[in-house]
């Protein structure tokens, strides 16, 4: 395996791990929102969003780097990382709305 491919796989894994960490924080945020602790829920959502933002920055750099090459190549693991990150981004948007609904119901 070339050094470049190895580095790209490592970055892809970082995207997956950051996205997974974000997912866990979003799940915890939903749990505490169900218990009406909206301050804690917001804090957890922000922490998760920060992880997701970090993953997105890595993804963007990888794509930009590939575009600059004559024959761009991205590893299969990157496709999985992108899919994972995009799924968690969708979950974020849905969970954020659900937490707002919980808040409305409680007020």
Q: Any idea which residues carry the catalytic annotation?
A: 80
Planar angle of CA 31, 36, 39, nearest 5 degrees: 90
83 labelled binding-site residue: yes
93 by Cβ neighbours in 10 Å (0-12 / 13-18 / 19+) ranks as exposed
- Please tell me whether residue 71 adopts helix, strand or coil conformation: coil
- Residue 20 to residue 13: CA distance in whole angstroms: 10
Q: Which residues are annotated as a binding site for Mg(2+)?
A: 83
Q: Which residues are annotated as a binding site?
A: 83
């Amino acid at each position: 395996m070339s050094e470049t491919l190895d580095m790209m796989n490592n970055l892809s894994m970082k995207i997956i791990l950051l996205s997974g960490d974000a997912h866990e924080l979003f799940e915890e945020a939903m749990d505490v929102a169900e218990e009406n602790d909206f301050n804690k829920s917001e804090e957890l959502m922000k922490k998760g969003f920060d992880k997701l933002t970090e993953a997105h920055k890595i993804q963007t750099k990888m794509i930009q780097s590939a575009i600059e090459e004559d024959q761009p190549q991205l590893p299969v693991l990157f496709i999985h990382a992108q899919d994972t990150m995009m799924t968690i981004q969708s979950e974020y948007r849905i969970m954020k709305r659900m937490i707002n609904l919980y808040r409305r119901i409680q007020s």
